[in-house]
Each structure stands twice: as C-alpha cells, then as structure tokens.
Amino acid sequence: MNKKLIIFDMDGTIYLGNDLIDGAKETFSFLKKNNIDYVFFTNNSSHDLEFYYSKMKAFGIECDLEKNFYSSSEVTISYLLEKGAKDIFVIGNKSLKNKFSKHFNLIDEYSKDIKIDAVIAGFSTELVYKELMDACLFLETRDIPFIATNGDYRCPIEDKLFIPDCGGMCEWIRLCTGKKALVLGKPNAEIVDYLAKVFKVNKEEVLVVGDRLYTDVLVGVNAKVDTVCVLSGESTQEDVDAYEAKPTYTIESIKSLPDLLI
C-alpha cells in the first residue's frame, strides 16, 4: 500500500488501559523509518490531549503534541463555535469542562428559566446522576441540540474487560427524552477530510486503523478511505463478519501492520 498518513485510534488499538499492545513500539519505529506520517485521534473525551501525549511518550513512542494528537473534543468545540453557541450544559470530566469553559459559558444545573443553546455529552469517568437528570430536563423542556463528542458504547481496558463510554450514556438520555445525540467524533467523515488537508495528502494515501467497527472502521468507510480493523480491542472476527461496513483489512493487532504496508 502506498500510504502517507495513518490515522490511529488509541484505546484498544495501541494499548489496553496501561498495557502497551505487543509490537506497537516496533510498528511506530517502522513508520518513522519509512517516512509515513501518523496521527492519534481519540473519541475519548475524558482526558485532554496532554494526557495522551504523556502516555505515548511513557510507552516510548515518538510523537509531538501539536502534530500528532487530535480528539473529538476539538471537533465539537469547532462545531459549536460555527453555530454561534454561547451557553451550554456539559456532561463530562473536569478536564473536558475546563476545555469548553475557555470558549463558552457553562451552565451548572437545570433551571426552567435559564437560557441554554445546547447539551453536550462526553465520556465521563466522574459522572454523577444529577448531571444525567439535568441534561434530560433541559432536553425535555427546550428545542435545543443534543451533541455527543463520541458514540462509543464501551471502552476496552486491561484483561479484555470494558467500561461504559459516552455512547451508552447517550442511550440512557435518548430513552428518557426521545432525543438522539448528534455525534461529532468518529464516524464523522469530516475528521478524515480535515486531517488529509492538514497533512497535504490525497485521501487515497490515507489509512484508518482502529478496533471499533462502528467508529474507527465506519469513519474510514464514510470518508471512502482504506481501513484496518485490529482484533486487539472491542471487535472480534465474528463482529467483523457480521458487520455491514467491512474493513479493507483485518489483522490480529498493530504488530502486523508493517506487513500490510510493505
């Protein structure tokens, strides 16, 4: 394959929790040696990009914070700014709220009289019930957008286990309010289009690598670029066989990626 840019997922693709997947470090050495650019795009909005940068550096993977890291949080902020939003309610970790507070006025809790432009949901490991309750009340009493940074239902961790992710939380809200979230992270094809422009490559030269079919693979399918599904995270071969939007390639883990690129 003649690829010049690879868009990587991180959780379940490069590492599981605090465990680096076997062969990952060697794969990135191969990419550097062959002058293939790569970016890490995560749907996980529970941490800021500095967290992921520090994590990858600790794993011994060569990377640059400004060049190599992108997330669904930045995409969501850009979308809200374009729409002219000012007052928003955010479900998410403190780091996510701090990031949004630099651009918007964050509403703390539900009130029937308060002005609000949108409800935002991100992956939250600090979730409390009142946040869900207030979000539902805002959405039930106003005709405002419900926006999610990502639609992942679960997040893979060590020992082949999973924890709830943003998509699962959004389903709870949908079942209560009847409103489905607009997802701005993967599988939104604009992410791939944007990164191709940033790195000045044709889409035929882009490859998306990840472990989730309905986000990582689907974003590539939606953008009409080649995809690789790794079986080291959420998806199994049975999932791939049953999924309508097939990846271009399926491999056991990132360790085998250089074999595809040679």
Q: DSSP for 185-246, please give it.
A: STT-THHHHHHHHHTT--GGGEEEEES-IIIIIHHHHHHT-EEEEETTSS--HHHHHH-SS-
> Mean pLDDT throughout 191-201?
91
Q: pLDDT tens digit string along 13-52?
A: 999 989 999 999 999 999 999 999 999 998 877 788 999 9
Q: Is the pLDDT of residue 182 over 90?
A: yes
- Torsion 108-109-112-118 (CA) sign: positive
> Mean pLDDT throughout 71-77?
85
What is the side-by-side order of every strand in the sheet holding 146-148? 105-106, 87-91, 118-121, 146-148, 182-183
Architecture (CATH level 2) of domain 73-183:
3-Layer(aba) Sandwich (3.40)
Of 40-49, 57-66, 79-88, 226-235, the range with the lowest mean pLDDT is 40-49
Q: Is the pLDDT of residue 223 over 90?
A: yes
Q: Is the pLDDT of residue 159 over 80?
A: yes
**How buried is residue 58: exposed, middle or buried, by Cβ count under 10 Å (0-12/13-18/19+)?**
exposed
CA gap 164, 42 in Å, rounded? 16
DSSP secondary-structure letter at 182?
A: E
Share of the chain above pLDDT 90, in %: 80
How big is the chain, counted in residues?
262
Q: How confident is the model at residue 114 (pLDDT cuts 50, 70, 90)?
A: very high
Specify the domain boundaries for CATH 3.40.50.1000 within the chain: 5-43+186-261, 73-183
What was the pLDDT predicted at 190?
82
DSSP 89-157: EEES-HHHHHHHHTTSEEP-S--TT---SEEEE---SS--HHHHHHHHHHHHHS---EEES---SEEE-
DSSP secondary-structure letter at 37?
A: E
Look up the pTM and report it: 0.77
CA gap 84, 131 in Å, rounded? 24
What was the pLDDT predicted at 42?
85
CATH superfamily to which 5-43+186-261 belongs: HAD superfamily/HAD-like (3.40.50.1000)
b (16+ CB within 10 A) / e for 41-53: bbbbbbbbbeebb
Of 32-46, 96-110, 196-210, the range with the lowest mean pLDDT is 32-46
CA gap 71, 199 in Å, rounded? 16
Q: pLDDT tens digit string along 116-137?
A: 999 999 999 999 999 999 999 9
What was the pLDDT predicted at 75?
82
> Mean pLDDT throughout 208-224?
95
What was the pLDDT predicted at 117?
98
